[in-house]
Amino acid sequence: MKRYSAFAIAREAISRHQNWERVWAAPEPGKEYDVIIAGAGGHGLATAYYLGKNHDIKRVAIIEKGWLGGGNTGRNTTIIRSNYLQDPSAAIYEKSRSLYETISQELNYNVMFSPRGVMMLAQTEHEIRGYRRTAHANFCQNVETEFIGPKRVKELCPIINIAGPRYPVLGALWQPRGGTARHDAVAWGYARACSAMGMHIIQKCEITGICREGGIVTGVDTTKGRIRCNRLGIMVAGHSGVLADMAGFRLPIESVALQAMISEPIKPCMDVVVMANTVHGYMSQSDKGEMVIGGGADGFNNYTQRGSFHHLEETVRALIETFPMISRLKMLRHWGGIVDMTGDRSPIISKTPVDGVFINCGWGTGGFKAIPGSGWAMAELMAKGTSCLADPFSLDRFREGRFIDESVAAGVAH
């Protein structure tokens, strides 16, 4: 794998950029692997990468029904934060956030991580109490956050309307090291590193069945034939229940659509991420100048990957109260992604009733921020059978009543 650098760009410019090598290989599937990863999104690729880097397991195939990063990894709004209330959540999200800070150098691929800071607005007295509680919990968890007042909110984001007609801004939970990254680049960077380790990334290959003998996984049936394996990791977001059904077990999740949109590009006016849970919306500005806007998930189960007018109208109407200037913007495009929700709004990173099958799902609408930490934990679980980061998120917690309730911290869930 050639290293990217300023010298490499200059060298390739001499040949009119005709000699760049493929970012990752596109091999035909082999007959057998040590590990098969179902899903070439951020979580699947990160798991494969850390299996190779941390545990020297490199005979790995990452199988993707569509194209690499074409699911939720390429359909989200790129917010990265770790200011969660419960200890297990804060641990894995902070691990992820810290990995994002150095991942560009580690992968030799610029993921455009921007630690611009994330504000979660308090617009009711109830939210003030909740965010103060979270700030105290974060202090004990060594997660850098603080509760700030309206004056400081206005200084950080001048375009905000502090004295809203229905919900004035009373303060905010501020995480200065949160931010954003380029979603596609995260997937591409991990894919390039996996390919360089000899792993096979197999696109446009749908898993149609999971093979078992005596309750142990032996492989998968795909549209490109049967592929044998010793371990199978399922990381397919909103379609987790479909593959779990193939393996013979059920998951406590539901799949719904989450919609988002971007505006036409404008001059820089906002250099932080702002989330407003009371009115149910959030916004940031991309490096290209678009305002990235989103809100809550659909209120009914579905598998759609397109937006709907009524939901976008609801989100924009809510945000205009806090950001009046966006009323004059035109929408550039909008989209939807399929997210999988658990009852406690926390993920599942777990062994399953089928020996050798592992599942990583249930991230709801906050999966992008967790990609590096999730991959780290899932790889450790698959390699060693246990992981201090993953163990609290096992399937057993639903049977035992050990819920990790993040329904407030994940109110908009990004």
Measured CA to CA, the distance from residue 76 to residue 337 in angstroms comes to 7
pLDDT tens track for 288-301:
999 999 888 888 88
Q: Where does the pLDDT of residue 411 fall: very low under 50, low under 70, confident under 90, or very high at 90 and above?
A: very low
Q: Rounded to whole angstroms, what are the CA distances from 198 to 29, 55, 193, 220, 330?
A: 13, 15, 9, 20, 45
The mean predicted confidence, pLDDT, of the chain is: 92
pLDDT tens track for 356-392:
999 999 998 889 999 999 999 999 999 999 999 999 9
Measured CA to CA, the distance from residue 308 to residue 13 in angstroms comes to 44
Q: Where does the pLDDT of residue 272 fall: very low under 50, low under 70, confident under 90, or very high at 90 and above?
A: very high
More confident residue, 173 or 298: 173
Total length of the chain: 414
Q: What confidence score (pLDDT) does residue 321 get? A: 85
Element (H or E) spanning 118, and its range?
Answer: strand 118-122
Q: What confidence score (pLDDT) does residue 413 get? A: 46
Measured CA to CA, the distance from residue 175 to residue 234 in angstroms comes to 32
**Cβ within 8 Å of residue 2, ≥6 positions away:** 8, 21
Phi, psi of 350 (to 5 degrees): -160, 155
User: What CATH architecture applies to the domain 114-177+255-342?
Assistant: 2-Layer Sandwich (3.30)
Q: How large a percentage of the chain has pLDDT more than 90?
A: 76
What are the boundaries of each domain within the chain? 114-177+255-342
Phi, psi of 85 (to 5 degrees): -80, -50
Instruction: Indicate whether 136 pLDDT > 70.
Output: yes
Strand partners, 120: 173, 275
